[in-house]
Structure 1
């Protein structure tokens, strides 16, 4: 089977699974809705902020407040895309049809990542424009310095979160085990490490902490992070590469 045929086969698999539609739809709705809510609240509270907080006020980043929950759905999407075949036993048929395991895995990841990128970019632009509408006179413009980079970066961030989850799922094979590790990692461990002074320097190099830097336009006062927006995204890409390489290495070595 040629690579093009494998890609078409993977596209058919992904779009025929109901969970794909639901998880991606949830990512869009949650990210936009929560971003609008937080933006509206921030706009109302702006006049009550002290001067120091106003200097760090980042209207662009505030409109992406929903990403924290939206990435939850992207994690679920990434895990299910890979691990569903193991949980249903279809992996045996898939590998029998495509014995080249690298072609099989990376065709699946390419199709899923392309879909995640389209959804992520659309969601990021929608979250930005609707969030800015909620901010009123405190809003940013897409033509402002760094804003377009941040908005495109938001879509890339969501895509990379999904790809990292695919790599972890390829290593662990079980959807429950994958989600049982990824959820606490992103929603508990990463936040704790990134906000406790003793571990802050370690936490800033975790994938979500580093990757989210791309969505910032205004650098908070006192921020001593040793990398910029693209550097942070580069660190996240490295995490994704390591996860995918681990998934491929294990898929190549073990039985279906």
Structure 2
């Protein structure tokens, strides 16, 4: 099969699975709805904030508060795209049809990444505009300094989370094992390492902690992070590249 035929085949696989629509729809709804809620609550509670919190208040970043849960659905999507064929046994048929394992994997990644990027960008822009509407007089404009970078960065962040999850799933093959590692990693371990004084310097180099810097416009008071927004995204890209390299290496070595 040619690369174009493989890509078409992967697109057919992805769009024919109900979980694809549900997980991506959930990512959109949760990210936007929670972002609007947090933005509205932040607007009402602004006057009661401490002076330190007011100086660190970032209207743009507040709009993306829902991404902490929205990325959960993107992780599930990334894992299922890669590991579903292993759990059903269809991987043997797929590799028999496409014996070039590199072509097989990267065609799957290309289709899923393109879909994740489109959904993530729409979600990021919608979350920003609707979140700002909830902030009233404290809202910012897309044309303000660094705001467009943060909004585009939000879409890139969600996309990279998805691709990183696909790389991990390619290494582990099992959807349950992949989700059993990724969920605690992003929602428990990363938060603990990033908020405990003794481990902050380690936590700031984890993919989600580093990548989320791209969505910030206002630097928090007393923040001593040694990299900026694009530096943080670059760190996340390195994590993602490492996960993909590991997935590809193991796919080449192992039997289906």
TM-score of the superposed pair, with normalisation by structure 1: 0.99
* 1:8 aligned residue: 8
SS of the counterpart of 2:57?
coil
Q: Which whole-Å deviations, capped at 9, do the CAs of 1:36-88 have from their partners, x for residues lacking one?
A: 00000000011222222211110000000000000000000000000000001
* 2:235 aligned residue: 235
* 1:184 aligned residue: 184
* 2:157 aligned residue: 157
Q: Which whole-Å deviations, capped at 9, do the CAs of 1:212-233 have from their partners, x for residues lacking one?
A: 0000000000000000000000
* 1:88 aligned residue: 88
Q: Which whole-Å deviations, capped at 9, do the CAs of 1:158-203 have from their partners, x for residues lacking one?
A: 0000000000000000000000000000000000000000000000
What aligned pairs does 1:64-79 form with structure 2 within 5 A after superposition? Answer: 64-79=64-79
| CA distance in structure 1 between the partners assigned to 2:116 and 2:40 by the alignment | 27
What aligned pairs does 1:22-61 form with structure 2 within 5 A after superposition? Answer: 22-61=22-61
| CA distance in structure 1 between the partners assigned to 2:52 and 2:206 by the alignment | 28
| CA distance in structure 2 between the partners assigned to 1:43 and 1:232 by the alignment | 28
* 2:245 aligned residue: 245
Question: Does 1:169 pair with 2:169?
Answer: yes
Question: Does 1:122 pair with 2:161?
Answer: no
Unaligned ranges ≥5, structure 1: none
Q: Which whole-Å deviations, capped at 9, do the CAs of 1:96-148 have from their partners, x for residues lacking one?
A: 00000000000000100000000000000000000000000000110000100
Question: Does 1:108 pair with 2:108?
Answer: yes
What aligned pairs does 1:221-232 form with structure 2 within 5 A after superposition? Answer: 221-232=221-232
Unaligned ranges ≥5, structure 2: none
* 2:19 aligned residue: 19
| CA distance in structure 1 between the partners assigned to 2:128 and 2:98 by the alignment | 41
SS of the counterpart of 1:246?
helix
| CA distance in structure 1 between the partners assigned to 2:158 and 2:16 by the alignment | 22
| CA distance in structure 2 between the partners assigned to 1:53 and 1:82 by the alignment | 42
Superposition misfits of 4+ residues, deviation over 6 angstroms: none
TM-score of the superposed pair, with normalisation by structure 2: 0.99
Instruction: Name the count of aligned residue pairs.
Output: 256
